[in-house]
């Protein structure tokens, strides 16, 4: 079937430019750094998705897939039988965005792993795709999603109530799926356009810790994959879907940063400029936690002697992780704590760490942690705010009973591409997440597959390994 095309003359639309990039991207053109980053993010993704699949929030999708079985060749984590790729992308994408541990592209405030790797893995299993093709598709998905998210301007789109991982995620998933399926530039233009009409995701989850945030990663994965498959079968969409008068940027921002849209090359590709989270919380808190832990290890810091804790951050952080301060000082659910500066600060000072295992109701109600949470105040520092969104810096000041004030500041959090994790640290993070979820031998097999991904002819071996992971219900 011939796909209708659009010829605006010499001037290409944003979607057409992205489409040419995706259709023309080849594995051999990728730098070693970019390939390594793709594998590191895959290692990160699979750990989070495996553990996330065990959480209560992942059960509804697994139960829905069981009640409406559609045969296919993809893995829905936690099930031994293969399912249709659409179910797999939805469920795995939701699981992978459920622990606040996935990556962050700072200029766009977007988390790519859930909506890039979930459709890529599902389609690679079902279509017999090689590791090289998979890596190429992942790089394309990161590139498109990150550029569009940055153009939205995080503070502007957040102020409108939109969650970029849900909204722009659909566009990134479409770019991933289109590249993996080998769509031509005209088809990919249509896929991106359809995805723009599927973009969804509201920030209202911050009011009560609901599971809709986690759902955004799954729905974006599913929506983008469906958009690409529809484009493969001839659906059309306006080529001006991104920048048009009634297009995506107008709807979700209204004040776009158009210079953020041009794609990169080499180590300027977005995947090489994306941060890997080190702590299980919103990215605005990452630099805060680094600063707190700098203070926690000081021999002259007595937690009992703390009188006041002042946290200085960027303006965009305030409504998400600092306000209302009374609510942030009394988290009730895991997601509340993951979006709470007072809890993270108190936890870091008391435990000397910020670990996923500590985000529990026992810690939320700990008298010692509650006492410290009540001492935390949050403030915007104009000097820090001027660095945003290129950097998401923070400063923490702790005033002690003897009148001393201890100060620590962080510009680039651990895991930022300017302060990156080594491969050993990436694997250590992965191991800590899957501990108790999959056995060590199975995990060794998963890591061996990913670390040699570019040599794999298809994903049948990974499918065999993942079938060992079965959950009840």
The predicted model gives 194-214 an average pLDDT of 93
Domain containing 242 equals 14-278+431-466
Contact 221, 118 (CB under 8 A): yes
Tens-place pLDDT, residues 284-309? 999 999 999 999 998 778 999 999 99
Whether 449 and 340 map to the same domain: the answer is no
More confident residue, 473 or 285: 285
Residue 419 belongs to some domain of the structure: no
Residue 226 belongs to some domain of the structure: yes
Record the pTM.
0.92
Tens-place pLDDT, residues 4-28? 343 444 489 999 999 999 999 999 9
DSSP 133-156: HHHHHHHHHHHHHHHHHHHH-HHH
The residue whose two tokens read 């990663």 is 217
Residue 244 has pLDDT above 70, yes or no: yes
Whether 215 and 343 map to the same domain: the answer is no
Residues 293-305, buried b or exposed e (16+ Cβ, 10 A)? bbbbeeeeeeeee
Whether 161 and 244 map to the same domain: the answer is yes
Whether 355 and 455 map to the same domain: the answer is no
Average pLDDT, the chain: 95
Total H helices, total E strands in the chain:
21, 4
Number of domains the chain is built from: 2
- In angstroms, how far apart are the furthest CA atoms of the chain? 78
Residue 141 belongs to some domain of the structure: yes
Q: What would the two tokens of residue 105 be?
A: 């592209």
Whether 169 and 274 map to the same domain: the answer is yes
The rounded Cα 294 to chain-centroid distance in angstroms is 26
97 Cβ contact partners less than 8 Å away, ≥ 6 residues apart: 52, 111, 113, 114, 115, 165, 213, 214, 216, 217, 218
Residue 256 belongs to some domain of the structure: yes
Q: What pLDDT shows up at residue 65?
A: 85
Whether 234 and 301 map to the same domain: the answer is no
The rounded Cα 212 to chain-centroid distance in angstroms is 15
Residue 1 pLDDT level (bands cut at 50, 70, 90) = very low
Whether 153 and 299 map to the same domain: the answer is no
Whether 160 and 201 map to the same domain: the answer is yes
Whether 392 and 438 map to the same domain: the answer is no
Q: What pLDDT shows up at residue 371?
A: 98
- φ, ψ of residue 234 to 5 degrees: the values are 105, 5
Residue 369, domain CATH:
3.30.1330.120
Residue 400 has pLDDT above 70, yes or no: yes
Residue 151 belongs to some domain of the structure: yes
Residue 473 pLDDT level (bands cut at 50, 70, 90) = low
Coil, strand or helix at 112: coil
User: Do strands 306-313 and 394-400 pair parallel, antiparallel, or not at all (unpaired)?
Assistant: antiparallel
Residue 296 belongs to some domain of the structure: yes
- Cα gap 225→127, rounded to integer Å: 13
The residue whose two tokens read 């031509």 is 184
| Beta strand segments in 264-321, E | 306-313
Residue 31 has pLDDT above 50, yes or no: yes
Q: What percent of the chain has pLDDT over 90?
A: 90
Residue 473 belongs to some domain of the structure: no
Residue 8 belongs to some domain of the structure: no
Query: Which run of H or of E encompasses 266?
Result: none
Whether 142 and 287 map to the same domain: the answer is no
Domain boundary, last residue among 410, 439, 457? 410
Whether 184 and 155 map to the same domain: the answer is yes
Residue 217, domain CATH:
1.10.4100.10
Q: What pLDDT shows up at residue 7?
A: 43
- Cα gap 470→80, rounded to integer Å: 6
Whether 272 and 322 map to the same domain: the answer is no
- Cα gap 473→461, rounded to integer Å: 25
Q: Nearest CA to 412 among 296, 281, 276?
A: 276
């Amino acid at each position: 079937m011939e796909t209708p095309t659009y010829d605006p003359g010499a001037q290409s639309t944003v979607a057409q430019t992205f489409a040419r990039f995706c259709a023309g991207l080849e594995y051999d053109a990728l730098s070693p750094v970019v390939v390594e980053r793709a594998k590191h993010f895959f290692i990160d993704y699979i750990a989070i998705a495996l553990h996330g699949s065990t959480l209560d929030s992942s059960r509804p999708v697994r139960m829905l897939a069981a009640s409406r079985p559609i045969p296919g060749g993809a893995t829905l984590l936690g099930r031994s039988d293969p399912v249709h790729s659409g179910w797999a992308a939805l469920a795995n994408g939701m699981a992978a965005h459920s622990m606040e541990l996935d990556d962050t592209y700072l200029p766009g405030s977007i988390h790519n792993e859930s909506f890039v790797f979930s459709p890529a893995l599902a389609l690679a299993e079902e279509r017999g795709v090689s590791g090289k093709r998979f890596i190429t598709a992942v790089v394309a998905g990161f590139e498109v999603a990150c550029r569009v998210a940055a153009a939205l301007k995080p503070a502007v789109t957040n102020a409108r109530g939109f969650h970029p991982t849900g909204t722009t995620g659909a566009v990134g998933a479409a770019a991933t799926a289109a590249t993996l399926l080998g769509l031509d530039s005209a088809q990919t233009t249509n896929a991106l356009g359809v995805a723009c009409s599927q973009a969804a995701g509201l920030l209202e989850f911050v009011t009560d810790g609901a599971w809709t945030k986690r759902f955004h990663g799954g729905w974006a994965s599913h929506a983008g994959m469906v958009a690409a498959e529809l484009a493969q079968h001839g659906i059309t969409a306006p080529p001006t879907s991104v920048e048009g008068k009634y297009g995506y940027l107008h709807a979700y921002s209204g004040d776009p940063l158009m210079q953020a849209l041009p794609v990169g090359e080499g180590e300027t590709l977005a995947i090489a400029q994306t941060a890997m989270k080190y702590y299980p919380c919103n990215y605005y808190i990452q630099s805060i936690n680094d600063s707190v832990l700098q203070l926690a290890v000081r021999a002259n810091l007595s937690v009992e002697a703390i009188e006041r804790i002042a946290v200085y951050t960027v303006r965009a952080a305030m409504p998400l992780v600092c306000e209302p301060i009374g609510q942030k000082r009394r988290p009730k659910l895991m997601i509340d704590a993951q979006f709470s500066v007072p809890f993270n600060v108190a936890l870091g000072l008391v435990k000397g760490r910020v670990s996923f295992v500590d985000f529990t109701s026992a810690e939320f109600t700990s008298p010692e942690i509650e006492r410290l949470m009540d001492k935390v105040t949050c403030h915007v520092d104009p000097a820090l705010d001027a660095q945003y969104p290129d950097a998401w810096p923070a400063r923490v000041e702790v005033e002690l009973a003897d009148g001393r004030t201890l100060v620590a500041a962080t510009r680039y959090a651990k895991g930022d591409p300017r302060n990156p994790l080594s491969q050993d640290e990436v694997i250590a993070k992965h191991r800590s997440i899957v501990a108790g979820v999959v056995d060590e031998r199975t995990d060794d097999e998963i890591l061996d597959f990913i670390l040699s991904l570019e040599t794999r002819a298809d994903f049948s071996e990974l499918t065999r390994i993942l079938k060992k992971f079965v959950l009840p219900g």
